[in-house]
Amino acid sequence: MCGRYVSASQPDEIARYFDADLAEALVDASPEANFNVAPTSQVFVVLATGETRRVDTARWGLVPSWAKDVSIGAKMINARAETLATSNAFKRAFQRKRCIVPADGFYEWQAIAGQKRKQPMFIHRADGDRFAFAGLWELWRNPDAPDDPPLRTCTIITGQPNEKVAEVHDRMPVMLAPDAWSTWLDPMNHDLALLGKLLVPAPASIIAMHPVSLAVNNARNNEPTLIDEVTIEPRPEGAQIRLL
């Protein structure tokens, strides 16, 4: 799964990277870098309308159009690639509302033999580039307030891990290569078989990772130091891990 990630790039940087326009609300925006993005946060997404791409925002945790209230989104931060076409929650968005979720890296927690507490790992591009996570988005209207503006929400698609990420977790975000962006974002592309072929593990060669501080476990912490590598001391069998 993907439950925390890093979004440290400014909207204009993301727009240049994805050759996209900025949503009007983001034109003069300078949001604080987020080194600990948690579910239900407002996040950046890349959408397409016809042939035009734009960078916009969405609430992380997809709320299907038929949902009675927004709380269901907290359970839908990820969508399994294997069941997109059949899931009641995601199949409509898979057909026509696909997006990219830009990320500068993400966190996973590695089980340590003999330990109850898992070790957080920061997973990022080995070349320092950013990830383009495959995502879905939806618009939700509050049935109790039909005149309110619709809420845009999103989810990150996960699939089988490559051999690098498999050392830490049995799932990983689907990472789209640049030559797949147009196909994925095209709202007129309803070829689910073709789209499904894009949902494969990224090459292990592009991935790097290192252990980071347990401070990332608290979603209220948001400092650049969260992604700094920490040293784990060798320990005698049965001893607790101590991070330097």
What residues are labeled active site? 2, 108
Residue 63 and residue 76: Cα distance in Å, rounded?
7
Residue 38 and residue 20: Cα distance in Å, rounded?
25
Residue 81 and residue 83: Cα distance in Å, rounded?
6
Residue 99 and residue 149: Cα distance in Å, rounded?
20
> Residue 92: in which H helix or E strand, if any?
helix 91-96
CA distances from 69 to 39, 73, 88, 131 (A): 16, 9, 16, 31
Hey, is 214 helix, strand or coil?
helix
Question: Residue 60 has which token pair?
Answer: 């992380």
- Strand residue runs (E) in 76-146: 78-80, 98-103, 105-110, 119-125, 131-140
